[in-house]
Structure formats: structure tokens, C-alpha cells
Structure 1
């Protein structure tokens, strides 16, 4: 995925509900500091000034833009104010100014950070006024020029810890509206912090999902996080209740569920991984790609390389209602059914070709593919995969021995009830297919994933 592939809604913003902040806490508490560059670089190096707190995006400037910032320091051109927020342990988190501070620190330290996680030598490039410095590293500059950079002063506004946390993030969002524009998911990452946001970051590292996207690391503009959010939002809402404006649906999903319980977050994680696993099993690296059938002039069909967001919504959403035991034995037939759908249902093809998220298109795509899935697999299973607490108590009373490691389970809270025959292989959630295990042993044992 490239930056051009970042899914961003073109639906106009709609009013969001007001922030629930007590009236006496609505003003930002700040202090002002004028600090030399060398002091800022020192703080960054020892970790007392954090360039990438959890709400920040990745470094996205290129060497030319970063070099021209260095040129501005040498020309004594005023640099925009840097905003930081007080954090625990006396540290400061950069709210606005990350790109500037990263560029300055990287030049002085000699290495430019790449999106791949690697670094390269930072040599000035693209300077228009001080062109004689192009190609030089900081260490190659004269002592006088080095001092001009190190002793340049930046104004830092510190948002005090006593400021309401929601006010701090409101400041961040507004400041960045006038800077290098954040995409929708980067803004959500700023505003809707919490367990849900952390889950999206964690899932973006899931290897089958990276393989499907053709990535070795999570997308540096959070496109993968937005894809995961699209899926979870549509799954919770269902296509039958979707009324359009996917951007607003995703905003509401994160706003309403930002502080879910650990159990709820774990269920969501399992749902995403299970659904992605099924897509990978059926389609491999062709998952969520459009297939264009051959023509009379060229009978060979063609798979598009770019991931199709409409197919992502449609296929993953439908897979989420099935179990692996439904999909694995029928993978080849599902694959062929998809090819037939992309060849013969011209309305479906039209609705996955356009990028619009209109309600009628989302509903048609979901219904059309679900009918195909039902014809191959049958209706999705509705039986529970979770054993009752009562059964766990009964098994623990009868014999508190772990069926995996053979050791005694000390307390019932350390125990889980496990399927003898895996649920995803068709095992039923009945006492005859149940055994007691350590919670750890059950989670650690292999064979669960495809």
C-alpha cells in the first residue's frame, strides 16, 4: 500500500457531539519557554521529550523539506511554535512540532529516519539560498555554522498537566489542520485514544494482514488501521443498518467504544484475526483484489494488484459470520464462486469498481456475496463457541487437573474449558467435547491457527 492508497472518506464532515468537559476546565493551562536547539536535541536524546507519543503519527517529511528547515534556522527565519504536553515522570510529549524537531535532531545526529525503520546519512539537499551547503552533513559544516544551528532558539509552549486531557487533544487536532494535513485515521489516532486505538495498532502488525497487503511493517500513514476499523464498524452495525457516510460511522465506532473492557477487546481481536485468516486461506495474496475477466480480444483474466476497499468490506464482513470449520473444507469452491461473481454479476462489478460508500451499494454487495457463500457453505453457524461458567465449576470440582500439562490447577479462575475437537474444525460446544485446562496452557497450545 502506498500513501495514495490511504482510504479517506470524501464525505463532508458532519457535526460531532460536544466534548463533555466541566466549564471550569475548558481553558488550556500553559507556560512559555524559549529554548536553544542544542537543549531540545539533548532532551530528545535522553527521552525526556517524547517525539512520538501514542497519539502522534509517524515521521513523514522528506530530506528536502527537512533540509529547508535547517536552512531557515541559518537564515534566522522564525520557526513556528512547538507545543508539548506535560506527561508523567517529568517528561514532555510533543503535541505539535514533531516533524520539525525530528528533522533538526536527525540532522545534528547525522542520520535521516526512513519509513522502513532504517536510517541513512542526512545530507542537506534542495537548499535554495545557501546552495553551497547542499550535500553536506552537520559534521562537515564549519564550527561557526554548527553553532548557528545549535544556538538557534525555538519557542516552546508547554500545556500543563492540570489541563483537561480532552482539551489537550482538541489543541492537537486544531493545530494540525493548518499543517501537513493528517488523513482521517491519523486524526482518529489523535482524538479517540484508548484501548480501541491501541488494539488497531496491535492488529496492524498481524502477519497475515501484512502479507495480504504486501507489507513488511504497518503502513506509515495508518491505512491498515483504517481498514481494520472499517471492518469492525460495519460488523457491529451490520449492512442492514448502514445508512451511508462511512467516515462518520468509523468516528462513532471509535468514540462510542474507546474504553471497552479487556474481554471485549480480546473478542474483537479474535474476530479480526479469524476473519483475516479465512480470507488468506481462500485467496492468499489475491485477497480483496478485483478480478477482471478476459475478453474476446484477450481471453486471459487479470487480477488487480491494489487492494479494493469495497471488496475488503464485503468479503471480510461476510467471512466474519462463519467459522474456520465452514471455510477451510470449501476454500476452492469459495474461490471459484468469487470468480464467477466478478464475471457474471455486472451490478456487483460496478459497485466494487467505484469507491463510493453509498448505503444501497454496501447492502447490494453484502447480499450478493452472502447468497454465493450460502450456496457453497450454507448458513453461518449460530451455536456458541463458549462453554458456561457452570460447566467449568463442575469440571473443576470433579478433577482440577489440566488436560494439557497434567498439573493441578490451583484456582478455578486459572482454568478454561477447552474444546477437545477444535471449534473451528466443527467441534460442538457440549460437555462431551469439553476438557479443563490451565488458562495459560490453553492459550499457548498450538494448532489453533491455520
Structure 2
């Protein structure tokens, strides 16, 4: 189960795959160097860029500002004492803007002091007065506006070294740079780094659907994970579902990077499709397994005949089960939920290779393909091939039913216009009902929606 406090668990938060199992990155030789520009910029210039939105301190992917006022004040003191400040890294983004990659806390502290307000939790702000200064203690309690002009100029004219990572740098090389920047600090996990590199509407979607209630229930969470582990799970699913297990060649980290790089700003229709694909697949997983979804089952032994379920969500089962569910409709799965559950217990008990490939770490291509092929065959044996028929009746049929008898099958009153009418499945589609005239009835659009019981 994911840790709601954000503590790192061995193979869920820190990395996608243990380092010893990662294949080499597939990067052309001529693109293996990151392209950078070094700039020494005055505080005044940096504050100006921040205030007009050209330098983005805290895009939605970044962690919150966490420094207290004393730590921020001592950074200001360091500027006044001419103590070197660590290098700031920024990355070129769309529209000529730059995203802060490393140095967010420092730049936020400096710009906040110059602006006069200290950023607090949930957007709360208060006067930024220096505190906790040990050398220039006479400045304690002073705002920027309280300082004399000479002291203000010392701050505004202090320079910070900024390394700009150019947009044309290869995205996987750029990702490695961001990852290594965090080695000496509180290490960001892969998804936090990924969000830093591949900013766009796709990231916004990941944040949005991480709040989906059945998904939270499956993880055992009451709110989205504060270290983005849930977003990484969603991205794994989308990346593998688009690529398919047949074309997967290994290195899930690189596959997820490429998914965000190539599709960072999808159309509205594409975003809607992704959201519906994920929520539908999660609904099916919850219908079959409930809170045991994506957990490993260990069968009993001669000495301990009782089997047991692991509590923590298993990445291999996440990839395998959710990926397979995505090719079906609820009408395929829900009537067969109990049989699918039993089939899973059977494959975990009697297919030693499947159980091994679920247990072992790593995302090697042969293991991903074996798990996907094996489970798909099992699903087909229980459910049959995924349904391809539409769930929507034609307007032609609606018109024919309306002209034959315009009364509502639910309230029995007359339907006044064709647009107020809706064709409903007599046997629900999600229960296996077919989209054929024999399974159709005419209802008020309102009555049908108010009745409930529909799949959506």
C-alpha cells in the first residue's frame, strides 16, 4: 500500500526499476551531451523575470515552498555578506519561459523578501521580516522596504550563477541531469523529476485523475499521494497501453519519459479518451478485486496451507491486469467478476513462471510480454474476446420507436418531442445486454437519467 506520509518504499517511490536492472538508454551518440548556457544574473533581473512570469518558480509539478522565515532570512544575510550561493538550474520551456529545476527555495526566498511578503501554506502570506540573523543581527525585524537604499542595492545587485538547460537537449539526457542534481539534496523521486522535465496538459491530467475515488480506494489512500507515486502508476498504464506489450523493449523509465515527451499537450478529445480509459479500467479492477486489486497472492504450502495476500500494490500486476482490462468493456467484466477472481488465484498458484515474473523486480521485456500474453489468454477463456459492438442506439431506431408509440416506458406519459426521447437498453449493456432493437425501449431522457443503474 502506498505510504500517505510520502516515505519512500523500496520499489514504489524512489525509482521505476532498480538500477542494476536498467538497460542502457537508447540515445544517439551525437545527442548524448546536454546543451547549456551559463549566466551570471543580478537579483534584480531575476526578480523582474519572476514577477512577469518569464521565470516560473513553482509550476504545478514542483514541491511546495518549505523553508521557514529564519532559513530564508539567512539566505538574504548571505547575499549581504557576499557568501557564494549555490548554482541555480533552469530549463527552457515553451513561449520563451524558463522553469526552475534546482534553486526554487532560494529564488522564492529572495524574490519574496524583495516583494515584502513571505509565502505561507495554502497561499497565505504575511510580512517578510528578517529573523534569526546571527552576523547582521541589527537587521532582524526589518522588511526590505525598511532597509536603507545602500543595503537594498547590495541585495539587488548581488549576482547568482544560473545554468540554462537548452530546449534542444535530448529529453532523456535532460532527465538524467535533473536526477543527478538531486543527489546531494532531498532526493526527488522519478515522477517528481519527470514532471519537472515534461510539463504540459498531460501532467495536469495525471494530477486530476489521481483524485478518482476508486483509484484512491485501491491504493488505500484518502487523498492523492504527496510524492506523486499515484501519478506514476497512471503514467505507467497509459505508456504501456499506447505502446502495447508487443512493442515494449525494456526500460519502463524511458518508455514513460517518451510518453510524456511525445504527448505532453494532447487535444481535448485525447484527454477525455485517456481519462475515460483509465477510469473504466479502474472500475473493472475494483469490481473484480476490490481492495485486493494489484496485490500479489501467495498460495499456501505443505507446512502452511493458508495462502496470503500482500498489502503493497505490485507494479507487475498493475501493468498486467489494468493493461488487459483496458481492452474490455464493463459489460464483459462485471458479469464474470467472480470467475476472473478465481482465474487470478489459479494463475498465481499453478503458473510458476507467471508467479516468478510477478515476484521478481525489473521490467524486462520478456517478462512483461509473458505476463500480458498469459493473462490475456486466461481472460479470453473466461470472458471471451473483448466486445466490439456499440452501446449507442441509432437515431433512426429512436425515430421509429417514437413514431410507433411516443409514450415513456418508465413514467408512461407521452414524450412531446424526439429530442426529449432516449433509447434505453432493457437488459443493461453493462450486464451483457445487446444494442439491438429487441433490447430497446423508448423513455424520456430525464426519466432514464433519473432512474439510475446505468454504466456511466
**Normalised TM-score (structure 1):** 0.69
Alignment-derived partner of residue 211 in structure 2: 205
Shift of 1:336: 2.8
Higher deviation after alignment, 206-215 or 363-372: 363-372
Determine if contact 2:75/2:106 at 8 Å carries over to the other structure. no
Cα RMSD between the aligned structures?
A: 5.3
CA distance in 2, matches of 1:271, 1:291: 26
1:309 and 2:315 matched: yes
Shift of 1:198: 2.7
What secondary structure sits across from 2:43 in the alignment? strand
1:291 and 2:297 matched: yes
Q: Where does 1:310-329 land on structure 2 (aligned, <5 Å)? A: 310-329=316-335
Determine if contact 1:81/1:157 at 8 Å carries over to the other structure. yes
Q: Where does 1:188-337 land on structure 2 (aligned, <5 Å)? A: 188-337=194-343
1:379 and 2:391 matched: no
Of 13, 22, 28 in structure 1, the residue corresponding to residue 25 of structure 2 is 13
1:179 and 2:181 matched: yes
Structure 1, unpaired ranges of 5+: 20-25, 122-129, 134-140
What secondary structure sits across from 2:383 in the alignment? coil
CA distance in 2, matches of 1:118, 1:298: 55
Cα gap change, 1:217 to 1:145, in 2 (>3 Å): same
CA distance in 2, matches of 1:86, 1:286: 41
CA distance in 2, matches of 1:60, 1:295: 51
Shift of 1:35: 3.6
Determine if contact 1:392/1:436 at 8 Å carries over to the other structure. no
Cα gap change, 1:199 to 1:448, in 2 (>3 Å): farther
CA distance in 2, matches of 1:51, 1:427: 53
1:144 and 2:152 matched: no
Cα gap change, 1:294 to 1:87, in 2 (>3 Å): closer
Determine if contact 2:401/2:442 at 8 Å carries over to the other structure. no
CA distance in 2, matches of 1:59, 1:289: 32
Cα gap change, 1:143 to 1:384, in 2 (>3 Å): farther
What secondary structure sits across from 2:195 in the alignment? helix
Q: Where does 1:429-440 land on structure 2 (aligned, <5 Å)? A: 429-433=435-439
Shift of 1:118: 11
Alpha-carbon deviations, 1:35-76, whole Å to 9, x = none?
Answer: 499x79x969xx99864324x32238687xx96565444344
Shift of 1:288: 0.8
**Normalised TM-score (structure 2):** 0.68
What secondary structure sits across from 1:281 in the alignment? helix
1:368 and 2:374 matched: yes
Shift of 1:315: 1.1
1:351 and 2:357 matched: yes
Determine if contact 1:86/1:93 at 8 Å carries over to the other structure. yes
CA distance in 2, matches of 1:188, 1:97: 17
Cα gap change, 1:280 to 1:28, in 2 (>3 Å): same
Cα gap change, 1:131 to 1:232, in 2 (>3 Å): same
1:58 and 2:56 matched: no
CA distance in 2, matches of 1:417, 1:32: 66
1:34 and 2:36 matched: no
CA distance in 1, matches of 2:375, 2:400: 47
Higher deviation after alignment, 228-237 or 68-77: 68-77
Alpha-carbon deviations, 1:270-301, whole Å to 9, x = none?
Answer: 12111111111222222111122333444433
Determine if contact 2:92/2:166 at 8 Å carries over to the other structure. no
- Please identify the structure whose Cα radius of gyration is greater: 2
Q: How many residues were matched structurally? A: 412
Shift of 1:308: 0.6
CA distance in 1, matches of 2:42, 2:396: 61
Cα gap change, 1:432 to 1:261, in 2 (>3 Å): farther
Alpha-carbon deviations, 1:152-188, whole Å to 9, x = none?
Answer: 556579999xx99778x99986874553254433343
Shift of 1:221: 2.7
CA distance in 2, matches of 1:177, 1:444: 51
CA distance in 1, matches of 2:444, 2:56: 40
Shift of 1:320: 1.8
Alignment-derived partner of residue 74 in structure 1: 77
CA distance in 2, matches of 1:100, 1:442: 57
